[in-house]
Amino acid sequence: MSDFNHITGRQLAAARALLGIGQVELAQRANVSAPTLRRMEDSEGAAKGMKNNVASVVAALEAAGVTFIDGEYAGTGGPGVRLKQPGE
């Protein structure tokens, strides 16, 4: 699992959009409420919320095929998301 402490609210929203799923569906997959997910996605900077809830959302997105890109690595152009490559 990614280090969810550095994942931003915008990354969560982008990952969900990349998968083509709504907030309610992702919230159900992550076992959090839709308002909780909405607050996480609306966060400026790091996703705000209880650590276990943020971790659950990140795990649900990763299980659905998303890879989080850490913006701290040189040459990545900042934080982002992408779909996993086959076999990844």
Map tokens 């799923």 to a residue: 21
Identify the architecture of domain 4-83 in CATH.
Orthogonal Bundle (1.10)
Q: Does the pLDDT at position 10 exceed 70?
A: yes
What are the residue ranges spanned by the domains of the chain?
4-83
pLDDT tens, position by position, 55-70: 999 999 999 999 998 8
pLDDT of the residue at 74: 47
Predicted TM-score (pTM) of the model is 0.88
Neighbours of 19 (CB within 10 A): 18
Residue 78 pLDDT grade (very low, low, confident, very high; cuts 50, 70, 90):
confident
